[in-house]
Homo-oligomer: A and B are copies of this chain.
Amino acid sequence: MLILVTNDDGVHSPGLASLASTLSELGQVVIVAPDRERSAIGHALTLHSPLRADLIKSDVYAVDGTPTDCVNLGIHGLFNARPDLVVSGINRGANMGEDVTYSGTVSAAMEATLMGVPAFAVSLDMSAGDNSDYVAAASFAKDLATKIIRHGLPSDTFLNVNVPAGTPAGTKITRQGKRRYDDMIVEKVDPRGRKYYWIGGGQCQFEEIPGSDFLALAEGYISVTPLHLDLTNYRSFESLRQWQSTADKAFFSTDND
């Protein structure tokens, strides 16, 4: 069995090493990961410049691209065999709520799913700022990989796993929660007097939605969220149709018309 491992913290990240080492108990592991940190890179795909993949040691490729690029290269370009499973992580910090749309780690699993390869992402919460180790997360990843290989995954679906710091109280299947976003631009001046902006900072706060990833972690559980790539908000169709007041009647024709 061939397992492709990637991440968005970069090829030198300890979370990646821990994951790869543990998964190697299940089969051959190849690492194809960004040569530098590419977190918050979303589902970015490098279409306008070419990519390089350097074999920096046995079964470890450093790519000058995104996690999504790495999965593409790992599935279509670098190897003769097609991976049986793609695992992305262990990310330094949780990826929950709408942050999954920013996350390079989660997007790598998304990409594998588009390519038809079962996949999951695994992230370790570090909100407490402690130096959590990756052992519990890697161990859970191995168990989950075993189950996925045995049972398969629902069609077009991948799993987003978040592991709390410390010893997990158990595992919950969750829904994607909702963050509250603060103002988040810091304006600064560089050593040459030019203005620049840092995005970021702000406390991460979340809405207390029952069954959500945030809540599971807050209660000490490992959160497993099944995600798919259909962003359609089906429930909004009705309210959009209500735009069809007398005046706007002709504006939308829907399939049911």
Binding site for B on A (CB under 8 A): 10, 12, 35-37, 39-54, 56, 62, 64, 68-69, 72-73, 76-77, 98, 100-102, 107, 110, 114-115, 143, 147, 151, 154, 156-157, 170-176, 178, 181, 183-188, 190-192, 194-202, 210-211, 221, 224-237, 239-243, 248, 250-255
User: How many Å lie between the Cα of A254 and that of B222 in the bound state?
Assistant: 11
Q: With contacts A101-B110, A176-B230, A240-B226 known, is A251 near B147, CB below 8 A?
A: yes
Asked whether, in the complex, the Cβ of B240 is within 8 Å of the Cβ of A173, the reply is yes
- Our pick among B147, B151, B172, B227 for the contact of A232 (Cβ within 8 Å) is B227
Q: How far is the CA of A40 from the CA of B66 in the complex (A)?
A: 11
Are A176 and B232 interface neighbours, CB within 8 A?
A: yes
| Inter-chain contact B47/A181, CB cutoff 8 Å | no
Copies in the complex: 4
Whether B229 contacts A98 by the Cβ 8 Å rule is: yes
CA distance A48 to B39 in the complex (A): 8
- A225→B232 contact, CB < 8 A: yes
Q: How far is the CA of A134 from the CA of B31 in the complex (A)?
A: 28
- Chain B neighbourhood of A102, CB < 8 A: 43-45, 68
Cross-interface CB contact of A52 among B115, B173, B196, B231, cutoff 8 Å: B196
Please give the distance in Å from A239's CB to the nearest CB on chain B: 5
5 pairs across A/B with beta carbons < 8 Å? A12-B54, A76-B183, A151-B242, A173-B241, A175-B230
A-B pairs with lowest CB-CB distance, top 6: A191-B201, A42-B42, A42-B43, A50-B196, A228-B233, A154-B236
How many angstroms between the C-alpha atoms of A80 and B115 in the bound complex? 44
Q: Are A98 and B114 neighbours in the complex by a CB distance under 8 Å?
A: yes
